[in-house]
Amino acid sequence: MSNRIWVVALFVLALLVVSSGGVVDRAQEQVQFGLVHKIASGGWGRNRFVINPDVKVLGNTVYVAYADRYPGGDIILAKVENATSPEAQITPIVVAQTQGPSIEPSLAAKGTKLCVAWQEGIAGSNWDIFVACSSDGAQTWGQPVNLSNNDTASGWIALFTGDDWPGNLWIEMSKDGQNIYVVWSELEDEKMFLSVSNDGGNSFSAPQELNGDGILPRFPFLKLLDAEDAPEVFKDKLLLAWADGMNDFSDLRVSFSSDGGKTFSDPVKATDNPGFSDAPECVVSGNSLFCVNDDTTTNPDNADINLTVSSDGKSWSGTRAILKDGAFPTIGSRGQNVYVAAENIAEGGSGVIFTYSTDGGKTFAPQLIIPNTSGPFDEPQMAVGDDGTVYIVSVGGVSRQSTEIQLVTLKLP
C-alpha cells in the first residue's frame, strides 16, 4: 500500500473515532430530565417505609403503585396528572384496606383498567398473593381476591444462601384489559404458579404450577407481546422469564406460552455464564427481545447490569455489561430506543443509574446517574409513554431517617 493511501486511511479512521465519540457525548448531554416529583413520603423502619414502587402510563396519566408500611400498611395507587410539568397533580388512592401488611405491588394498566397484585401478610410466616382491579381509571376498586390461598410464604423465595426474598411476583394484562396474568413463587415447594383471569379481573383461575420445579425460581417476570408491531416470531405470546437461585452461578430462563398461559414451551437459558444472574426484565425493540439482569460475571466483587438479546427466543447473545455496579434493572423501549435503569450499588454510590440506546441496542450511551434521585433503596421501575417520555419511579430518602417515592421524567431529543 502506498504512503498516500495509508495517510488517507488513517485520516478516515481518526475521523470515525472522533465523530462516534462526539455523537455519544452530544446525545448524553441532550437527555432532557424533568423534575423529580415526590409521590409519597414515609419514615424509616419496616413499619414506616414507603417502598416498592411500580409505574404504568395511560395517555397523559401516570400511575404509581407503592407500599405504605405503617402497621398493617396498604397498597396505594398515586394518580399523577401533568407529570412532565412542575405543577403535577398527585392524588393518592387506597387500593384496598386490609388487615395485614401489604407489600411489593406489581401494576398493570390498559385503557381504563388497572390491576395490582401484591403480597399480603396473613399471619406469622404465611403470606398470600392478592389482586384487585379498577375499571374506571383507579377511582374505585373491587374487593381483593386471594390467588394463592395457602398457609405458606407465597411470593417469597430463598436464595441458595438461605436468605428469604420478597417480591417474587408479576402481573401482566392484555391490551383490551380482559386477560390478566399473575405469576409468583412459593417459598416452601420452590415452584412458580400462574393464575389467569379471562373476564377483566372478575374471576381468576386456581393456581397452575409452572416450570421451575426444584430450581428456586426467583423474580418471575411476565410480558405479553401483543403490540401491533411485535415481531411475528413473538406475536401474541406470553413471555415468562425468571432466575434460578439454586447456586452461585444461577442463570436466566425464558419460556413462552402461545395459548394464554395454558401451556409453556420448555425453558431455555437466556444467560449461561459463571456468575450469579438474577432479576430479569425483558422488552421488545425492533425484531429482537432484550432481557436485562444483574450479574456477577463481569463484576465478581459486586454486580453489573447485563443485556442478552434474541431474535427467536431460543438462541441468546449472552453476557454483555451495559451498566456498572447495578442491581434490579428495569427496561423499556419505544421504536429503536431502548432505556435501562437500575439500582446504584457502587460503594458509597447514590441515585438511579441509567443508560439508553438509540440504535436498537447496538450501542449504549455512557452511564448516567439521574439527577436529584437518591438512595437508600432505589428499586427503580420504568414505563414509556406513547410520545417517548420515560417515567422512572424509585425509593429515595435519607438512610435511617426517611423514605420517599420519587418519579422522574426524561426524554431523548
Q: Which residues bind Ca ion (CB under 5 A)?
A: 72, 74, 98, 102, 126, 128, 148, 150, 152, 154, 249, 251, 273, 275, 277
CB-CB contact of 307 with 292 (8 Å): yes
CB-CB contact of 68 with 82 (8 Å): no
Report in angstroms how near the CB of residue 203 gets to Ca ion at its nearest.
Answer: 20
Report in angstroms how near the CB of residue 183 gets to Ca ion at its nearest.
Answer: 15
Name the residue nearer to Ca ion (CB basis): 59 or 274. 274
Report in angstroms how near the CB of residue 273 gets to Ca ion at its nearest.
Answer: 4
Name the residue nearer to Ca ion (CB basis): 156 or 234. 156
Name the residue nearer to Ca ion (CB basis): 81 or 248. 248
Name the residue nearer to Ca ion (CB basis): 34 or 280. 280
**Rounded Cα gap, residues 111 and 89, in angstroms:** 20
Neighbours of 112 (CB within 10 A): 13
CB-CB contact of 183 with 147 (8 Å): no
> What's 96's DSSP letter?
E
Burial of 252 (0-12, 13-18, 19+ CB in 10 A): buried
Report in angstroms how near the CB of residue 233 gets to Ca ion at its nearest.
Answer: 25
Report in angstroms how near the CB of residue 128 gets to Ca ion at its nearest.
Answer: 4
Report in angstroms how near the CB of residue 173 gets to Ca ion at its nearest.
Answer: 23
Neighbours of 320 (CB within 10 A): 15
User: 3-class DSSP state for residue 313?
Assistant: coil
Name the residue nearer to Ca ion (CB basis): 221 or 391. 221
Residue 279's nearest CA partner among 393, 168, 356 is 168
Name the residue nearer to Ca ion (CB basis): 86 or 124. 124
CB-CB contact of 292 with 337 (8 Å): no
For the four alpha carbons of 309, 321, 104 and 155, in that order, the dihedral sign comes to positive
